[in-house]
RNA sequence: GCGAGGGUGGCCGAGUCUGGACAAAGGCGGCGGACUUAAGAUCCGCUCCCGUAGGGGUCCGUGGGUUCGAAUCCCUCCCCUCGCACCA
């Protein structure tokens, strides 16, 4: 017969070469609007890991499915090829980032090929090539021209040892250590380039509602990240013994609590605080030695300034406090300890008054001020102790106060900051700027792009700073000696538009072909890890919107449907090198083959869920493919006895074929690969049972096999391709057409349930009645009139259905039986369900009889009611045939 | 703390949107049987409890509610995961 497994290496190599030779994954530029299926391009680390394999198996399977459905498909791949790891690796190996990166790309490309991923490699991009990063520079120019980029001073994470800026993600833990050298990170103020993503904050948050093809979690994370807050800006006049500071703006979402403001607080780096540091010893001491913005305790120091309450005119003490953050709101706040937990803690500690001005909504009568001595009352309610505003509800008071207070106006705050893209690193896109002593920062003219990276210099700090020759240039404006900008761009710039470059990867005149992009975009199905929920996906949305506003792109969102795939774990834990619990995809491919690895991953769980890697699961996927191969080959070799006759068993198998097609299509459409695959696998099981039950009808069996192969080919393409050929089909299964099926799911499910329930009942009877060796089993389908009665009962809205039933002669003439059944229907009135009609029921059971015969090794008769004895038939009900077992 | 998602049988995992045929798909593990000299593979069953003709009981984190009927809808609480967080 066959042994476990098959020569997957030979099969897979063969078809990979054949696909390649035939360019089956090529998407010609002429196609009108291909289904754009995209996996997030990888950083070329040199090794494909399980996360990649899962990610790209999902896109590959979906792309293949769409092809079967007749779509043109765009399924490209590229490399997120810039980034610090290449610099580190180059230093360690005494090479340079470029060579190291291209080595890695080559390796990973081979690994992808060995997985059978079908990409249009003619559209491959690598962001570290000048022909790609030229367009980063071009985009930077456009940003600057449209006033969407600017250079300004900013606080950044600085590692004194590596002498470079670190992104927030590269600062580890509470202690804030550099991820590379564990040196404590410092804050440093540097001149940095920013892209003004905040200009799009409102659109970025508002459009989230329209991203219905995105997971809620990602949408929520983006909303949080943008963090829009509606509130009120209002000014407090601040003055000291010797100085007037005028109105100092504070932002609050709770202006309704303004009468409870008992202090005013400034961030340690607020301009006024910085002035006080010079003159006030206590403030100096506090800011430099005591302030601990990361601590849980709110700390502060009282100043000799006072703030004037904008409504009451009262004098409030002014503090410099470490819980006030300069990048939140205005860096100054009104303290309302009665109604804010943090203000309450601070006031208690500093001995500031705590006044209740909001009362809980009273059940009846007058609102009573809550006791806020121990804890703040933070909810909305009714104003008290608030002068003419007392008695108003919080929401209304907010509006009135914002209107009435002279310095107050409605304000919106965002958590989102502008996107700092400067990196003091070598392996990235050079920012196309020349610093001229006279003209300042000047853009490199378009016709001089790209500004290419110089040779790598192995040095501490930024290699571009050390590239003296490269740095030296002349000012494009005045021609004077000048220096190049030595910062490079954040690699998220590269990935914020790469999906557009695939549309026209070789275009020399523009980053993308506008017309084709308008036709092909947006990406129909994007797939990647949840770790990109905010950064990459938000930047991509932002850049897409700027291109829509300034470059004629007719799409404001880049990704219609997004799938955040789950993790592949080992014993419930994330696979990681440091834990040493990594399963290598290459090892699996070698041992079992790519098809097995892909099949196992897709059947293990829904794509968005985490799941555990399981050796048994892999083995069982492999065993399945071996069985599939066996049954196809045995059939193709003519070793299965066939007949031309159509019998009920063939009907059954055909029904299952239709069902499998219908169900699998629905599941593939929704990317629920696990259930789609299960359906295909169970069809193969059915075919194998069919074959074992006796002679098979050739047409039916062959169609079953051919359908199985097509349903499985998106997930296990190589073996299906091989067997497609074995079956004698011309052409590739990749290019095949999805089988037609005219079954609806409701009927499929009812039929299957009827058959299952009936088999179940037979087993139970035999077991409970202790029947050793049944001689014959009769299954008797319900008489027509009961179906009719059921229908009448479902449609009826009479209080008692029996009367209505008896108006039908066809029912009435069954006398007592009709009355009994009517009674039963009446009792279950609310629970009645439509069933299959009697003919379909009979046909479904006849078709399934062989399963029962086979199981109990006996004769099974499926009879219409008229063909059976009344005593037996009487027990039958719709969807519940009578069963008579003769011992 | 705020927000999102989730808690299903020995384990994994469907079902929850759109309440009914749900003791609850499928897989894994375990048990029994067939085949085999045997093992493996394959095939057929069983795998909450009771039951000599398809029956009954209990059950889907907890406690309540809505309904003729709840794993599914509503509320309470508990627990887990993720994101954000001295955010004014």
Q: What is the pLDDT of residue A28?
A: 96
**What's the sign of the alpha-carbon dihedral A620, A622, A623, A624?**
positive
Cα–Cα distance, A477 to A120 (Å, whole number): 43
Cα–Cα distance, A627 to A1 (Å, whole number): 10
Res. A586: pLDDT tops 50: yes
Three-class DSSP category at A179? coil
What chain A holds in terms of domains, given with CATH numbers, is: 2-136+494-574 (3.40.50.620), 137-196+418-489 (3.40.50.620), 229-413 (3.90.740.10), 585-743 (1.10.730.10), 758-886 (no CATH)
Task: Quickly give A753 CA vs B24 C1' distance in Å.
Answer: 13
For chain A, the farthest-separated pair of C-alpha atoms sits apart, in whole angstroms, at 112
Res. A151: pLDDT tops 50: yes
Cα–Cα distance, A836 to A602 (Å, whole number): 34
Task: Quickly give A673 CA vs B10 C1' distance in Å.
Answer: 27
**Contact flag, residue A167 CB and nucleic strand B, below 7 A:** no
Helical pair A717-726 and A8-22, crossing angle rounded to 10 deg: 90
Helical pair A838-856 and A745-768, crossing angle rounded to 10 deg: 40
**Contact flag, residue A831 CB and nucleic strand B, below 7 A:** yes
Per-residue pLDDT tens for A692-708?
888 899 999 999 999 99
Cα–Cα distance, A87 to A731 (Å, whole number): 47
Pairing type for strands A611-612 and A358-359 reads unpaired
Instruction: Give the residue, A363 or A459, on which the prediction is more confident.
Output: A459
Q: Which segments of A687-775 are extended strands (E)?
A: 696-697
| Residue numbers in A 568-597, CB below 7 Å of strand B | none
Per-residue pLDDT tens for A809-830?
888 888 888 888 888 888 777 7
Alpha-carbon radius of gyration of chain A: 36
- Nucleotide with C1' nearest the A219 CA: B4
Q: What is the pLDDT of residue A5?
A: 67
Cα–Cα distance, A122 to A739 (Å, whole number): 30
| Residue numbers in A 244-263, CB below 7 Å of strand B | 250-254
Per-residue pLDDT tens for A638-682?
888 888 888 888 888 888 888 888 888 888 888 888 888 888 888
Residue A55: φ, ψ to 5°: -55, -50
- What is the pLDDT confidence band of residue A136, given thresholds at 50, 70 and 90? very high
Q: What's the N-to-C CA distance of chain A in angstroms?
A: 38
Instruction: Tell me which residue has tokens 């080595």.
Output: A103
What is the rounded average pLDDT for all residues in chain A?
89
**Contact flag, residue A609 CB and nucleic strand B, below 7 A:** yes
**Contact flag, residue A830 CB and nucleic strand B, below 7 A:** yes
**Contact flag, residue A362 CB and nucleic strand B, below 7 A:** no
Res. A172: pLDDT tops 80: no
**Contact flag, residue A750 CB and nucleic strand B, below 7 A:** yes
Instruction: Give the residue, A716 or A817, on which the prediction is more confident.
Output: A716
| Nearest protein residue by Cα to C1' of nucleotide B50 | A768
Q: Specify the DSSP class assigned to residue A521.
A: P
Encoded tokens for A319: 């503090």
Res. A623: pLDDT tops 90: no
Which H/E stretch holds residue A725?
helix A717-726
Cα–Cα distance, A318 to A323 (Å, whole number): 14
Res. A3: pLDDT tops 60: no
Cα–Cα distance, A53 to A575 (Å, whole number): 13
- C-beta separation of A178 from A185 below 8 A: yes
Task: Quickly give A672 CA vs B15 C1' distance in Å.
Answer: 14
Three-class DSSP category at A152? strand
Q: How many CB atoms lie within 10 A of CB A747?
A: 16
Task: Quickly give A827 CA vs B25 C1' distance in Å.
Answer: 30
Instruction: Average the pLDDT over A838-845 and give the result.
Output: 87
pTM for the predicted model, two decimal places: 0.91
State which nucleotides on strand B lie below 7 Å from a protein beta carbon: 3-5, 12-14, 20-22, 25-29, 40-46, 51-55, 68-69, 82-88
**Contact flag, residue A752 CB and nucleic strand B, below 7 A:** no
Torsional class of A70: left (φ above 0), alpha (ψ -120 to 50), beta (otherwise): left
DSSP bridge pairs for A78: A125
Nearest to A26 by CA among A113, A111, A119: A119
Cα–Cα distance, A583 to A567 (Å, whole number): 13
| Residue numbers in A 864-883, CB below 7 Å of strand B | 875, 879-883
Per-residue pLDDT tens for A499-537?
999 999 999 999 999 999 999 999 999 999 888 888 899
Per-residue pLDDT tens for A413-458?
888 888 989 988 899 999 999 999 999 999 999 999 999 999 999 8
Instruction: Average the pLDDT over A598-623 and give the result.
Output: 82
| Residue numbers in A 486-505, CB below 7 Å of strand B | none
| Residue numbers in A 269-308, CB below 7 Å of strand B | 292-299
**Contact flag, residue A770 CB and nucleic strand B, below 7 A:** yes
Q: How many residues does chain A have?
A: 887
Res. A564: pLDDT tops 90: no
- What is the pLDDT confidence band of residue A744, given thresholds at 50, 70 and 90? confident
Which H/E stretch holds residue A836?
none
Nearest to A627 by CA among A589, A680, A672, A693: A680
Task: Quickly give A616 CA vs B29 C1' distance in Å.
Answer: 10
Cα–Cα distance, A250 to A270 (Å, whole number): 12
Cα–Cα distance, A777 to A862 (Å, whole number): 8
């Amino acid at each position: 017969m066959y042994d476990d497994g098959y020569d997957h290496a030979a099969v897979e190599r063969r078809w990979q070469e054949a696909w390649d030779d035939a360019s089956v994954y090529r998407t010609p530029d002429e196609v009108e609007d291909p289904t754009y299926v995209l996996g997030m391009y990888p950083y070329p680390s040199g090794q494909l890991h399980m996360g990649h394999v899962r990610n790209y198996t999902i896109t590959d399977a979906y792309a293949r499915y769409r092809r079967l459905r007749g779509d043109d498909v765009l399924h490209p791949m590229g490399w997120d090829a810039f980034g610090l790891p290449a610099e580190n690796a180059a230093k360690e190996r005494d090479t340079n980032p470029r060579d190291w990166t291209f080595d890695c790309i080559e390796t990973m490309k081979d690994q992808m090929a060995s997985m059978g991923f079908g990409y249009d490699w003619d559209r491959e991009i690598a962001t570290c090539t000048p022909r790609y990063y030229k367009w980063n520079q071009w985009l930077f120019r456009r940003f600057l021209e449209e006033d969407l980029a600017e250079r300004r001073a900013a606080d950044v994470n600085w590692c004194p040892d590596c002498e470079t800026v670190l992104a927030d993600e590269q600062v580890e833990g509470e202690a804030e250590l550099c991820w590379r050298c564990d040196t404590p990170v410092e804050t440093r103020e540097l001149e940095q380039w920013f892209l003004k993503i905040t200009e799009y904050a409102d659109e970025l948050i508002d459009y989230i509602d329209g991203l219905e093809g995105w997971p809620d979690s990602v949408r929520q994370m983006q909303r949080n990240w943008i963090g829009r807050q509606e509130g009120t800006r209002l000014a407090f006049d601040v003055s000291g013994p010797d100085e007037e500071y005028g109105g100092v703006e504070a932002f609050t979402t709770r202006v309704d609590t303004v009468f409870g403001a008992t202090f005013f607080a400034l961030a340690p780096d607020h301009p006024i605080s910085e002035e006080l540091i010079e003159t006030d010893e206590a403030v100096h001491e506090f800011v430099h030695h005591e302030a601990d913005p990361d601590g849980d305790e709110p700390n502060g120091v009282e100043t000799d300034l006072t703030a004037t309450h904008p409504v009451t005119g009262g004098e409030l003490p002014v503090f410099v406090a470490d819980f006030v953050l300069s990048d939140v709101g205005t860096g100054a706040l009104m303290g309302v300890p009665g109604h804010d937990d943090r203000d309450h803690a601070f006031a208690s500690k500093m001995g500031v008054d705590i006044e209740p001005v909001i009362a809980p909504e009273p059940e009846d009568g007058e609102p009573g001020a809550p006791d806020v001595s121990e804890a703040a009352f933070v909810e909305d309610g009714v104003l008290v102790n608030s002068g003419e505003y007392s008695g108003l509800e919080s929401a209304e008071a907010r509006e009135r106060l914002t209107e009435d207070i002279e310095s107050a106006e409605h304000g919106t705050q965002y958590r989102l900051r502008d996107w700092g893209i400067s990196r003091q690193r070598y392996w990235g896109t050079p920012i196309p700027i020349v610093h001229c002593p006279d003209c300042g920062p000047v853009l490199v003219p378009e016709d001089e792009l790209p500004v290419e990276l110089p040779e790598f210099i192995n040095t501490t700090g930024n290699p571009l700073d050390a590239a003296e020759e490269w740095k030296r240039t002349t000012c494009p404006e005045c021609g004077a000696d000048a220096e190049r900008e030595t910062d490079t761009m954040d690699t998220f710039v590269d990935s914020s538009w790469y999906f557009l470059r695939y549309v026209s990867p070789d275009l020399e005149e523009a980053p993308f072909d506008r017309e084709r992009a308008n036709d092909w975009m947006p990406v129909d199905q994007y797939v990647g890890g949840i770790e990109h929920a905010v950064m990459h996906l938000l930047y991509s949305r932002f850049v897409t919107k700027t291109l829509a506003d300034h470059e004629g792109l007719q799409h404001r969102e880049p990704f219609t449907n997004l799938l955040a795939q789950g993790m592949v774990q080992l014993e419930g834990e994330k696979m990681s090198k440091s834990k040493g619990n990594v399963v290598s995809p290459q090892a699996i491919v070698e041992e079992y083959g790519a098809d097995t690895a892909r099949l196992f991953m897709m059947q293990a769980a829904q794509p968005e869920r985490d799941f555990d890697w399981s050796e048994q699961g892999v083995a069982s996927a492999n065993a399945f493919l071996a069985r599939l191969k066996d049954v196809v080959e045995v059939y193709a070799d003519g070793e299965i006895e066939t007949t031309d006759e159509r019998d009920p068993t063939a009907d059954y198998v055909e029904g299952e074929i239709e069902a499998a097609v219908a169900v699998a299509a629905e599941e593939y459409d929704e990317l629920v690969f696990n259930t789609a695959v299960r359906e295909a696998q169970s069809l193969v099981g059915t075919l194998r049972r069919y074959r074992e039950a006796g002679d098979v009808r050739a047409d039916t069996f062959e169609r079953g096999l051919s359908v199985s192969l097509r349903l499985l080919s998106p997930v296990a393409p190589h073996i299906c391709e091989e067997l497609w050929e074995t079956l004698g089909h011309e052409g590739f299964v990749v290019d095949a057409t999805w089988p037609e099926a005219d079954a609806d799911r409701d009927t499929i499910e009812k039929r299957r349930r009827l058959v299952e329930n009936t088999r179940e009942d037979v087993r139970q009877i035999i077991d409970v009645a202790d029947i050793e060796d049944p001689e014959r089993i009769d299954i008797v389908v319900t008489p027509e009139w009961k179906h009719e009665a059921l229908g009448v009962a479902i449609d009826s809205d009479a209080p008692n259905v029996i009367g209505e039933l008896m108006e039908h002669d066809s029912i009435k003439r069954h006398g007592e039986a009709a009355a009994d059944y009517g009674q039963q229907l009446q009792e279950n009135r609310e629970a009645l369900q439509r069933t299959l009609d009697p003919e379909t029921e009979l046909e479904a059971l006849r078709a399934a009889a062989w399963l029962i015969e086979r199981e109990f090794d006996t004769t099974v008769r499926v009879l219409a009611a008229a063909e059976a004895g009344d005593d037996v038939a009487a027990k039958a009900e719709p969807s519940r045939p009578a069963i008579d077992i003769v011992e």
